[in-house]
């Protein structure tokens, strides 16, 4: 300890010292490097610098030696600086080649090998797993679980399961087989492959779900800090997924309106709050018959604690199904602004004084026209949106539904003249009602009139009309026409945005609303890439753990994709996994002339596409470069993965 002359502060002056024994067997020390004042470095960083320098000096002639891993750029910078100083000042004895001098080159390991004995064994996928593991290191999930009191084996198994869900989404039984037979994920996480079972995976999923609130809050803040996100805009929406099986006795699985058109299956609802960067802020798992508009209040109550500590007033973007007047009022009372599609199409509105039509383009470069309008006593900012492409699409749909609706009516008319056809008034009205129910957006534009007459007496049998009983009536004709003054396509391509924001331009409001597509992309990733549908679990606790595991895997996926998007790489997660799976881990075995078997475990070189992904993410190319062992042939004769004939002597 001494006073730093540059700062005047009493602090530590560091030296790198080598310990050795002299000829009298006494422990002595010699100074290798005067490192100087290292203010600002933590004890862990100092120890790591020492360990890496010691490893580099001890293995200077083996550049492929696996050094202690760190992603701390400060530590790496100091290690490089100190090592170069030791070499330049000749503090360590290193054999340096000179030009024209025939010297021993570094990295050489020369042995005589029987080429016929070379075999490759235990080839496993490692690229996607290694990419995912480094993303997990960015999120620092392992240190967080450690702070919760988790054991080391539990943390390693949790990381293994989350990475497996991201790379190979499947059931716990299939995941176990994949880990044991196809993947090198356990080599990366350090968990014993032989200890992986479906029951252990079930158990760790439930344990992760027990920490759901803490994990969500931590990851919400961690991603904000990692990528400098301020949560100015928040998106909220719901989706549902269906179950395979009867799910008897379940409190979670209910029949409801399925977004996958699976009305035959019970559902569970997943509500998500995300930011425009795609990171989840809060999630909720709800009963399958939960109405969209009834879920917002619970989300509002928990949203603030799951976001960053910023006091900035956030804008919540929601879909029309959630945007009831009660919900909009509640958001304002809780200190949030809102933006949504108006639940009802404005029938009477006026263009605001001085408002001009503004033209913008969507993500497909199609023209959109925006104009600010005023409707009645509504004080909200209302924006009329007209899309020509949407108009063409809706016109086509209207014509299709109209033709089907009228074809259905004609089928009813044809039945009136057929022998045995449906003619009774109540049954005809029932058929018309069902047809209206099937085409609700079209039937409201039509007037339908039925002509009713008494059922005529037949030639062979006269109907006897008893006193007090009226004759049975039948429908003889059905006529329909579009209502007068109604244009079916009048509102095609037109919808209205409603927001509590006032001092914003039309372009700003349109850009804010377009962020709703990010949550749609999140749902697609969860359902398709991470295989959240369908659900096969029969117990509610397993269902919730399954969904939560998928959300944790999504955090990993979005951490990777968010960084790639910054460099213009917009590939989907399945495509990223396919690309990364070209990198393998392989064990090569060969017999040398000393009757020894050399086993080398190493990762294949990443191809150009894989290397680009690593470079953009600033990730290491491989978890290890080479692992080598040499044993006598007799020691391997009983080993199940080596055939004796490969190493027999001729």
The least confident of 150-164, 235-249, 467-481 is 467-481
Residue 109's alpha-carbon distances to 62, 112, 423, 590, in angstroms, are: 10, 10, 95, 14
Cα separation, 215 vs 225, in Å, equals: 15
Cα separation, 288 vs 269, in Å, equals: 5
User: CB pairs under 8 A, 24+ apart, for 561-569?
Assistant: 561/278, 562/227, 562/277, 562/278, 562/279, 563/616, 563/617, 564/613, 564/616, 564/617, 567/616, 569/612, 569/613, 569/616
Closest CA to 366 of 349, 389, 382, 343: 389
Q: Count the Cβ atoms, other than its own, within 10 Å of residue 201.
A: 23
Q: What is the pLDDT of residue 583?
A: 95
% of the chain surpassing 70 pLDDT: 87
**Three-state secondary-structure class, residue 578:** helix
Q: Which residue has the higher pLDDT, 21 or 345?
A: 21
Q: Which domains does the chain have, with CATH numbers?
A: 2-88 (no CATH), 113-119+580-647 (no CATH), 230-344+501-536 (3.30.420), 346-457+469-490 (no CATH)
Q: What is the pLDDT of residues 158-192, one digit of tens each?
A: 999 999 999 999 999 999 999 999 999 999 999 99
Q: Residue 311: pLDDT band by 50, 70, 90 thresholds? A: very low
What average pLDDT does the segment 48-63 reach? 75
Token pair listed for 46: 């100092």
Cα separation, 206 vs 541, in Å, equals: 7
What average pLDDT does the segment 406-435 reach? 91
- pLDDT at 103 exceeding the cut of 80: no
% of the chain surpassing 90 pLDDT: 33
Q: What is the pLDDT of residue 529?
A: 84
Cα separation, 423 vs 407, in Å, equals: 18
Backbone angle region of 278, left / alpha / beta, with phi > 0 → left and psi within -120 to 50 → alpha: left
Q: What is the pLDDT of residue 646?
A: 40
What average pLDDT does the segment 422-439 reach? 91
Helical ranges in 463-539 per DSSP H? 506-514, 516-524
Question: How is residue 635 annotated by DSSP?
Answer: G
The least confident of 69-78, 119-128, 242-251 is 69-78
Q: Cβ contacts of residue 315 below 8 Å, gap of 6+?
A: 232, 233, 234, 336, 337, 338, 339, 501, 512
Mean model confidence pLDDT for the chain? 83
Token pair listed for 625: 């470069």
Q: What is the pLDDT of residues 445-492, one digit of tens each?
A: 899 999 888 877 665 555 555 555 567 888 889 999 998 888 888 778
């Amino acid at each position: 300890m001494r006073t730093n002359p540059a700062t005047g502060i009493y602090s530590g002056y560091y030296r790198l010292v080598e310990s050795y024994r002299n000829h009298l067997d006494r422990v002595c020390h010699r100074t290798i490097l005067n490192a100087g004042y290292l203010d600002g470095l933590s004890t862990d960083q100092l120890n790591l610098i020492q360990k890496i320098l010691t490893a580099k000096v001890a293995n200077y002639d083996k550049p492929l030696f696996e050094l202690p891993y760190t992603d701390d750029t400060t530590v790496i910078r100091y290690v490089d600086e100190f090592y170069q100083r030791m070499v330049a000042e000749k503090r360590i004895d290193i054999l340096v080649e000179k030009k024209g001098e025939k010297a021993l080159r570094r990295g050489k390991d020369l042995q005589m090998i029987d080429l016929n004995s070379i075999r490759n064994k235990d080839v496993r996928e490692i690229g996607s797993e290694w990419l995912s593991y480094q993303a997990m290191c960015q999120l620092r999930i392992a240190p967080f679980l450690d702070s919760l009191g988790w054991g080391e084996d539990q943390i390693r198994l949790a990381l293994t399961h989350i990475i497996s869900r991201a790379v190979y989404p499947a059931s716990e039984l299939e995941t176990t087989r994949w880990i044991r037979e196809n993947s090198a994920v356990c080599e990366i996480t350090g968990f014993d492959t032989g200890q992986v079972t479906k029951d252990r995976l079930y158990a760790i999923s439930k344990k992760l779900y027990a920490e759901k609130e803490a994990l969500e809050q931590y990851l919400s803040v961690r991603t904000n800090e990692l990528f400098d996100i301020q949560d100015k805009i928040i998106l909220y929406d719901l989706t549902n997924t269906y179950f395979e099986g009867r799910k008897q006795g379940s409190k979670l699985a209910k029949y409801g309106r399925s977004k996958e058109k699976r009305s035959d299956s019970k559902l569970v609802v997943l509500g998500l709050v995300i930011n425009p960067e795609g990171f989840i802020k809060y999630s909720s798992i709800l009963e399958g018959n939960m109405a969209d508009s009834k879920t917002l209040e619970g989300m509002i109550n928990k949203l603030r604690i799951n976001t960053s500590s910023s006091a900035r007033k956030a804008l919540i973007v929601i879909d029309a199904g959630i945007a009831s007047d009660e919900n909009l009022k509640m958001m304002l009372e809780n200190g949030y602004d809102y933006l949504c599609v108006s639940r009802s199409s404005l029938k009477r509105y006026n263009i605001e004084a001085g408002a001009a039509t503004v033209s913008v383009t969507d993500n497909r470069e199609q023209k959109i026209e925006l104009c600010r309008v005023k409707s009645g006593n509504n004080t909200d900012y209302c924006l009329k949106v007209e899309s020509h492409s949407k108009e063409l699409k809706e016109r086509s749909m209207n014509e299709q539904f109209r033709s089907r609706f009228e074809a259905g009516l004609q089928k009813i008319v044809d039945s009136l003249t057929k022998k045995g056809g449906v003619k009774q008034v109540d049954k005809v009205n029932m058929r018309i009602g069902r047809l209206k129910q099937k085409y609700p957006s079209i039937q409201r534009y039509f007037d339908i009139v039925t002509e009713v007459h008494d059922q005529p007496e037949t030639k062979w049998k006269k109907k006897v009309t008893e006193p007090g009983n009226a004759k049975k009536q039948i429908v003889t004709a059905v006529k329909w026409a579009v209502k007068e003054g109604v244009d079916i396509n009048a509102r095609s391509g037109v919808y209205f945005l409603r927001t509590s924001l006032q001092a914003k331009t039309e372009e700003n409001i349109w850009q804010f609303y377009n962020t709703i597509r990010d949550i749609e992309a999140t749902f697609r990733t969860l359902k398709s890439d991470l295989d959240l549908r369908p659900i096969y679990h029969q117990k509610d606790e397993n269902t919730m753990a399954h969904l939560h595991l998928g959300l944790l895997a999504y955090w990993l996926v979005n951490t990777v994709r968010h960084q790639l998007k910054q460099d213009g790489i917009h590939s989907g997660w399945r495509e990223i996994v396919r690309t990364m799976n070209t990198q393998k881990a392989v064990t090569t075995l060969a017999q040398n002339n000393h009757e020894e078997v050399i086993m080398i475990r190493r990762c294949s070189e990443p191809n150009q596409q894989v290397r680009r992904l690593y470079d953009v993410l600033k990730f290491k190319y491989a978890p290890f470069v080479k692992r080598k062992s040499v044993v006598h042939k007799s020691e391997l004769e009983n080993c199940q993965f080596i055939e004796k004939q490969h190493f027999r002597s001729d």
